[in-house]
Chain A
Amino acid sequence: MKERKSFTDSRFYPVLFMILITVIFIGILATFYHTTSHRVTAYRLYRLHATVLKLFDIPEGDDPFELTQEEVEKLFASRVVVDSLDVSTDEDPTYVHYEKYYKLVDGSETLGYAFPLVGSGLWGTIEAMISVTPDLATIRHFEIITQNETPGLGGRITEDWFKNQFINKRIIENNSVVRFQMIPEEDTPGSTQINQITGATASSGAIVKMLHDQFLKKTKAMGRDYE
């Protein structure tokens, strides 16, 4: 007589087992993700808005990252206007692309602009932001949003001394966008020069290239004919 096999010995059992536990665990994860996703999005928006406020020196002399989420959102809504630029190129008319930028306003007067910038670093994408005066000619602030450079070397692009050396530097000179020259860390820079990070020439160079290329693209989209 043939021995009766239990269901757990059948070849379908492992398949059913895997399907069942996959459904259970994915279900748990999906529920958890959905109940927390609004918090994650709200936090990312708050980080972005606080960065924009910092670029515009609001609140004056204070760090917006020390304000609460509500305070940041309130200030942002009252002082900043979000707009977009058409950065589509003539080479491919089917490709339509818009990029956000930020305007600091006081009533009907525009007091400055802030643009998100993207470039390639040594290990990955660098995302940054720059704010400029209303005539677009002078840099007000420069901030790094995300980067994956080597900690302790290229990662030092997030240090204040590196970012702050762009403050009050002219980015438009003789009708063209300035490409900053890199000089050694300990030298004194001129108006179109910046101190590079020792041991991180590639990361410093990536910032300089990103500033030039991306700013040129933004000003073109705003109808300025810089070179």
Chain B
Amino acid sequence: MNKKDIFVTAAFTENSVWRQVLGICSTLAVTNLMKNSLVMGLGVIFVLAFSNFTISMIRRFTPKNVRMMAQTLVIASFVIIVDIFLKAYMPAMSKALGPYVGLIITNCIIMGRAEAFAAKNTPFDSFIDGIGAGTGYTLVLLLISFVREITGFGTIFGSKIMGSWWTNWSIMVMAPSAFFMLAILIWIINGPIAAHKAKAGRR
């Protein structure tokens, strides 16, 4: 597979969130503000790319029975690096994200890509796959947070969009709205859009 195919497959065709329904906890947690979603997405892209790369590098030496322990160790190390980096060089952002950075460790997408891709492919291909899967995840986060932020706060990336006539929908700020926004998104992509594509494919 060439590099572009690897990227497109990881980001769209086999998108971790809407195709494999992975990484749901963080999708639900951080999507009430677009800024939080973007930084969370960038953090996940970084961790995915580098943990995939490292896991692929050591795949020939890794004993099968302890491979998950080794993968978790690698992933956790990269997450802590992101956390320390944000605290030291982007403290305002670190403060805004609070505990979410640490939660990247629990993101199943990262373990999923390590097992499904990095453990069987070359380091560079795995790196591309990590960036692709991370981009697909970030896209979903931004889509959901766009709707939640504009209806819940009347803003986009923190700047006021809706006029004073707008009444904020408090429910969109809280967790339940993330559940139905995610469900609607998965339905649109796997329902109408997939059906449309299948029809176009037959023609």
Contacts from A to B (Cβ < 8 Å): 8, 13-14, 17-18, 21-22, 25, 28-29, 32-33, 36, 39-40, 43, 47, 148, 150-153, 199
* Whole-angstrom CA separation of A150 from B173 in the bound complex: 9
Contact partner, B77, options A14, A25, A36, Cβ 8 Å: A25
Contact B73 A22 (CB under 8 A): yes
Contact A32 B173 (CB under 8 A): no
* Whole-angstrom CA separation of A60 from B174 in the bound complex: 38
Residues of B within 8 A of A14 (CB): 63, 65-66
Contact B88 A39 (CB under 8 A): yes
Contact partner, A29, options B81, B88, B168, B170, Cβ 8 Å: B81
Contact A21 B89 (CB under 8 A): no
Q: Which residue of A lies closest to B60 (CB)?
A: A8
- Residue pairs across A and B with Cβ atoms less than 8 A apart, 22 shown, are A18-B66, A18-B69, A18-B70, A18-B73, A21-B70, A25-B73, A25-B74, A28-B81, A29-B77, A29-B80, A32-B81, A36-B88, A40-B84, A43-B87, A43-B88, A151-B32, A151-B173, A152-B170, A152-B173, A153-B170, A153-B173, A153-B174
Residues of A within 8 A of B87 (CB): 36, 40, 43
Q: Does B102 contact A (CB under 8 A)?
A: no
Q: Does B112 contact A (CB under 8 A)?
A: no
Q: Does B165 contact A (CB under 8 A)?
A: no
Majority DSSP secondary structure for residues of A touching B: helix
**Chain B, range 65-96, C-beta contacts under 8 Å to A:** 65-66, 69-70, 73-74, 77, 80-81, 84-85, 87-89, 91
Q: Given A32-B81, A32-B84, A152-B174 in contact, is the A21-B73 Cβ separation under 8 Å?
A: yes
Residues of A within 8 A of B153 (CB): 152
Residues of B within 8 A of A32 (CB): 81, 84
Among B32, B77, B85, B170, residue most surrounded by chain A Cβ atoms (within 10 Å): B77
Q: Which residue of B lies closest to A26 (CB)?
A: B77
Given A14-B65, A39-B88, A148-B98, 6 more contacts at CB 8 Å? Answer: A29-B80, A36-B85, A43-B87, A152-B173, A152-B174, A153-B173
* Whole-angstrom CA separation of A222 from B60 in the bound complex: 67
* Whole-angstrom CA separation of A18 from B73 in the bound complex: 9
Q: Mark interface residues in B91-108 (1 if CB within 8 Å of A CB, else 0).
A: 100000010000000000
* Whole-angstrom CA separation of A28 from B50 in the bound complex: 14
Q: Say how far B38's CB is from chain A's closest CB, in angstroms.
A: 17
Contact A17 B84 (CB under 8 A): no
Q: Which 5 A-B pairs have the closest CB atoms?
A: A152-B173, A36-B88, A14-B63, A39-B88, A25-B77
Q: Mark interface residues in B137-148 (1 if CB within 8 Å of A CB, else 0).
A: 000000000000
Q: Say how far B78's CB is from chain A's closest CB, in angstroms.
A: 9
Contact A21 B58 (CB under 8 A): yes
Residues of B within 8 A of A39 (CB): 88-89
* Whole-angstrom CA separation of A175 from B103 in the bound complex: 49
Q: Does B152 contact A (CB under 8 A)?
A: yes
Q: Which residue of A lies closest to B70 (CB)?
A: A21
Residues of B within 8 A of A18 (CB): 66, 69-70, 73
Contact B69 A40 (CB under 8 A): no
Residues of A within 8 A of B98 (CB): 148
Residues of B within 8 A of A13 (CB): 63
* Whole-angstrom CA separation of A21 from B70 in the bound complex: 8
Residues of B within 8 A of A40 (CB): 84, 87-88, 91
* Whole-angstrom CA separation of A29 from B80 in the bound complex: 8
Residues of B within 8 A of A153 (CB): 170, 173-174
Q: Say how far B7's CB is from chain A's closest CB, in angstroms.
A: 28
* Whole-angstrom CA separation of A150 from B85 in the bound complex: 27
Residues of A within 8 A of B63 (CB): 8, 13-14, 17
